[in-house]
Structure 1
C-alpha cells in the first residue's frame, strides 16, 4: 500500500455521516396510551393497531433503557401499518 492509498482511505473514513429520523404517520391507525388491567391495578402502555379490522396478530416490541420514547412508538406504528397490534413491553418497578 502506498501512502496515497492510506491517506485516501483515512479521508473517506472520517467523513461526516448523515442520519435521518424516520417518522411513520398514524393515518389509518389507532395509536396512543392505554391502561392494561392486571391483578393489582393497571399497567400504563402504548399501542398501535390498524384502525379497521379486529383480532390482529400481536407483536411485543422490546423497549430500550430510555422507555417508550418516540423511536419505539414509531416502530409500533410501522408494525401496525403491516397489520399487527404492536405493544412495547411495559416495565414495572
Structure 2
C-alpha cells in the first residue's frame, strides 16, 4: 500500500473515488471466491483504482462501484469502477 501511495504522490495523481468516499470508509472492488457469502461477510480489498491528474480533480462529477456485478452468474471477483467527469 505504501508503494502505491508513493507512486500516486510522485505522479501528482488524485484518487477519483476517494474524492467522494473519504477514509476510513470501506471501499472494496474485489471480493474473494473463498467466502461462501461474499456479500454477508463484506470483506474485500480495493484492487481497482482510477486516478486523475490534479487539473481534472475539480471536474469529478460522480462515481460508481458496481458492487452488484459481483453477484452475477459467473461473475468476476472484481467489479467495474467508473467515474464521471464534467468537462
TM-score tier by shorter-chain length is: under 0.3
Hey, which of these two has a bigger chunk of strand by percent?
A: 1
Q: Tell me the TM-score normalized by structure 2.
A: 0.26
Structure number with greater Rg is 1
User: Which structure has the higher relative contact order (CA within 8 Å, separation 6+)?
Assistant: 2
Q: Tell me the TM-score normalized by structure 1.
A: 0.25
